Structure 1
Amino acid sequence: MSRTVILVIDGFGIGAMPDAGRLRPGDARADTLGRLLDHHRARTGRALPLPGLAALGIGAVHPHPDLPRTPSLPVTAGRAGLGYPGADTYAGHQTMMGADFSHVTVARLAEHAGEVAAALRAAGRRVERWEGRPLLVVDGHTLVHDNLEADPGINWNASGRLEETTFEQVLAIASTVREVAPVARVIAVAGHSAQPLPCHVREGDGGTLGLDTPASGFYRNGGLEVRHLGAPLDHTRQLPDLAARAGAAVTLVGKAADLLACAAAVRRPAVATAEVLAHTAEAVQATGDRPALVVANVQETDLAGHQQDADRYVEVLRRVDAGLEHLAGLLTSPGDRLIVTGDHGNDPLIGHGYHTREFVPVLVSHPGRAAAGAPVPDAASLADVGATAAVGLGLDPAALGNGRPLPLGPLSGASSRR
């Protein structure tokens, strides 16, 4: 077994998938990384420096004049389709860890509002429809509504303003909704807003109705608290649980600490990119020679995409890039792996604040192996990322619920750590 780090850059797409324009035709031109590179050059007259990603082969899978085509580290570079409908962080991470999420249930709250309201009332809650429409106001302070940041019908939210309630109350309401919700994820969200939340309710795509969370100020006012309540899955067939049962130390960092199930894992929740990177590096250093799996999520790139703030996205991406250089310097033993990928796109210059359905990079640094001469064929699913990590950890990828490992090539004279 070796040490393996999977770093997920949330919302880091590298070009639209063939079906990206099915819901929103304009998304057929989505390209999160390409647009950021062009934006930076247009503003500064210079290429955006991303030496960490360049060393890992990003230019080999995203040809762009501002990116070198050849990696400087021993890597295998490729890209992956998402392997699940839409473009969603929860579904992306569950798929990546080995779940078959190709058939998530898609439903608007309007189709189940009566059932949800009845469950909340049975739990002792006061429930009203907002202006008679399919958006529920619970106990006068928490909104239960369609999530407007993912594709319509994939997620529902329970949102509360911290000036009026506590996150614990919002989470309790979300937990009741989760018991009857048919969708992939119910998200409890609480933050600070200068105005009552109904001021920021709007209609979304596909007949949805919900809180415009970026407009509410939750993402920029500090104090944001989030909990993702996912649909039931067989977590014993996902990578963290499989690795822990085999004796690896498992650490979940950032949003991954909230999204992924593993009773044996050490959890390091964080939103700030500097904290996510620091926790990830500390987890690697703490393992020494012991086998380990670290799964980390950098969330601030995704938040910048939702805010349609390309400058902020660039700033966060440069911080991530510096962190990648540091992590690559820690993972130098034969058998160690640093896997850099995304969970979907979030093009901040596409003209809306939704996720975009894009391919994501799969950059695998593996000391002791020869670098691939050309990018590997596209992976059909993010599940192939988890399967690739399983092989590096000495695990049987067939024990996962889904996924096929990428071909990494033979060792170059050094044996993998056992």
Structure 2
Amino acid sequence: MSRAVIVVLDGFGVGAMPDADAHRPGDAAADTLGHLLDHHRAATGHRLPLPTLEALGLGFVHPHPGLSRRPSLPVAAGRAALGYPGADTYAGHQTMVGADFSRVAVARLAGHLDEVAAALRANGHNTDDLGGRPLLVVDGQILVHDNLEADPGVNWNVSGRLEDVSFTEVLRIARVVRSVAPVARVIAVGGHADAPLRTFVREGALGTVGLDTPASGFYRNGGLAVQHLGTPLDHARRLPELAAGAGVPVTLLGKAADVLACDAAVCRPAVDTTEVFALTLDALRGAPDTALIVSNVQETDLAGHQQDAPRYACVLQQADTGLSALLPLLSSPGDRLIVTGDHGNDPVIGHAFHTREYVPVLIHRPEATRPDRLPAARTLADVGATAAVALGLGATALDRGTPLPWPTAGSAGVPG
């Protein structure tokens, strides 16, 4: 019997992966946590207090002078590589629950225009370019283009102005694009724009071209319709469905409720960090002896996108307080609190995109007698596999992931 609670601090990286500069050379210096701690000390003259995260081993994972290196709780602490291309919340969460995203590509639409246009024409649609720019105008009304709000090449959008077409038609075209797209997500978007959509086409980062969705008025004019079409998944081999199929109650909270949508789960979306932890506490208090809860703290990621280090620090402190409230409710042998991330989002890197960083893996184990070091995980899928084992499920039933091994008796613990 075990209750496994996974808390995802969205956009919480602990240092650049070796290939972080593959698309943006400056990202080789990405370090969300380190830069956040440095910025806070420079701005305030004081270290950023994160007592719960330090007790869970954060300073061991990231040996920064602003963090204690001695965990005070019985934890196993380490870090994980992402295990999927790029740095994306959707791919990160799917990987974390055992889906195999290792073969998903980061690709600009420009490199696949002919293939996408051929698929659309085969389904009875007309396609044109827009003055030679690398995007498609379908049936004279709907744009197929790079997503300019996510990391370049991670997602493509299919956008339609609802004054001109129905969202049903936008979605129909998006499904055709999805059938040939190598990227993690094709996002169908319909909204009320201030002018024809071609008016708002602009160049993005790294040679992308697409619709400036915020400028179009979609977000402020009401009636926005969005549907995310992810790469095909075997949902039966994801952790939420695996747990639910074994009779384990599953609760998805915050952004996890949207990203990991599972028919068998209780799903409660929320953005406010305090609300996310209040929902997590309520779910934990009402949980039976065996349960899976996955919560996402989204406001860390939002602060990174806004390049707002003070806000990021404030949200991280709120999360630290929220984690401290969870720990007393996870005191039975076998219970697990797993704190991790899905990618980085360095708030001082100088751009508004995700950063490809390692993420922490901090696992509270009430039955342990000391803190221990975990080996580096090659993929976030190992987090899901570890939670599966804690719940008494077979990790091999997941599409991907290997349970993280606890240190053997007599091995060295976390140094002081």
> Common fold, TM-score beyond 0.5?
yes
| Deviations 1:291-346 (CA, angstroms, capped at 9, x unpaired) | 11111222222222222222222222222222111222322222111111111111
2:300 is matched with 301
Matched, 1:135 2:143: no
1:347 partnered with 2:346? yes
Give 1:97 shift: 1.1
Shift in alpha-carbon separation, 1:10–1:196, aligned structure 2, 3 A: farther
Alignment partners' CA distance in 2, 1:216 and 1:352: 22
Residues 1:383 and 2:381 aligned together = yes
Give deviations 1:111-150, integer Å, cap 9, x for gaps. Answer: 4446656766888988764444233456888643212344
User: 2:234: which partner in 1?
Assistant: 234
Alignment of 1:235-314 (within 5 A): 235-260=235-260, 262-289=262-289, 291-314=290-313
SS of the equivalent of 2:339 reads strand
- Correspondence list, 1:12-161, <5 A: 12-113=12-113, 116=116, 129-136=129-136, 143-159=143-159
1:238–1:311 distance in 2 versus 1, CA, 3 Å: same
Hey, what's the Cα distance between the residues in 1 that align with 2:99 and 2:275? 28
SS at match of 1:16: coil
* 3-state DSSP of counterpart to 1:39: helix
Q: Which position in structure 2 is the counterpart of 1:397?
A: 395
- Aligned CA RMSD, in angstroms, stands at 3.3
Q: Aligned AA for 2:253?
A: V
Give the letter for the 2:187 counterpart.
I
Match of 1:320, SS state, is helix
Give the equivalent residue in structure 2 for 1:9. Answer: 9
Mapped to 2, the partners of 1:319 and 1:223 lie a distance apart of: 33
Contact 1:214 1:307 in 2 (8 A): no
Report if aligned partners of 2:72, 2:371 keep a CA contact under 8 Å in 1: no
Give yes or no for contact 1:372–1:408 (8 Å, CA) kept in 2. Answer: no
Q: Structure 1 residues 361 and 144 mapped into 2: Cα distance closer, same or farther (>3 Å)? A: same
Mean Cα displacement is larger for which, 275-284 or 170-179? 170-179
Cα displacement (A) at 1:8: 1.0
Q: Which residue of 2 aligns with 1:416?
A: none
Alpha carbons of 1:255 and 1:160: their partners in 2 closer, same or farther (altered >3 Å)? farther
| Structure 2 gap segments, 5+ residues each | 410-416
Aligned AA for 1:359? Y
1:81–1:328 CA distance, 2 compared to 1 (3 A):
same
Shift of 1:210: 2.1
Aligned pair count?
409
Amino acid at match of 2:186: V
CA distance in 1, matches of 2:271, 2:263: 22
Q: Distance in 1 between matches of 2:320 and 2:224?
A: 25
How far apart are the structure 1 equivalents of 2:169 and 2:274?
29
User: Does the C-alpha gap of structure 1 residues 217 and 37 become closer, same or farther in structure 2, counting only changes over 3 Å?
Assistant: farther
Query: Does structure 1 retain, via aligned residues, the 8 Å contact 2:261–2:267?
Result: no
Q: Which amino acid aligns with 1:105?
A: A
Contact 1:59 1:67 in 2 (8 A): yes
Structure 1 unmatched ranges of 5 or more: 412-418
* Whole-angstrom CA distance in 2 between matches of 1:225 and 1:303: 21
What CA deviation, in whole Å up to 9, does each residue of 1:49-100 have, x standing for no partner?
Answer: 2222122111110111111111222211100011112112222112111122
Counterpart amino acid of 2:319? Answer: V
Check conservation: 2:344, 2:359, Cα contact below 8 A. yes
Normalised TM-score (structure 1): 0.85
Q: 1:139-171, CA deviations, whole angstroms, 9 ceiling, x for partnerless residues?
A: 888643212344443311245689999988866
1:334 corresponds to which residue?
Answer: 333
What is the percent sequence identity of the aligned residues? 69
| Stretch of structure 1 that moved more, 388-397 or 300-309 | 300-309
The answer to whether the Cα contact below 8 Å between 2:71 and 2:371 also exists between their aligned partners in 1 is no
Corresponding residue SS for 1:135 = strand
Q: Distance in 2 between matches of 1:227 and 1:203?
A: 24
Residue 204, structure 1, aligned to residue 204, structure 2: yes
| Counterpart-to-counterpart distance in 1, 2:219 and 2:46 | 30
1:368 match? 367
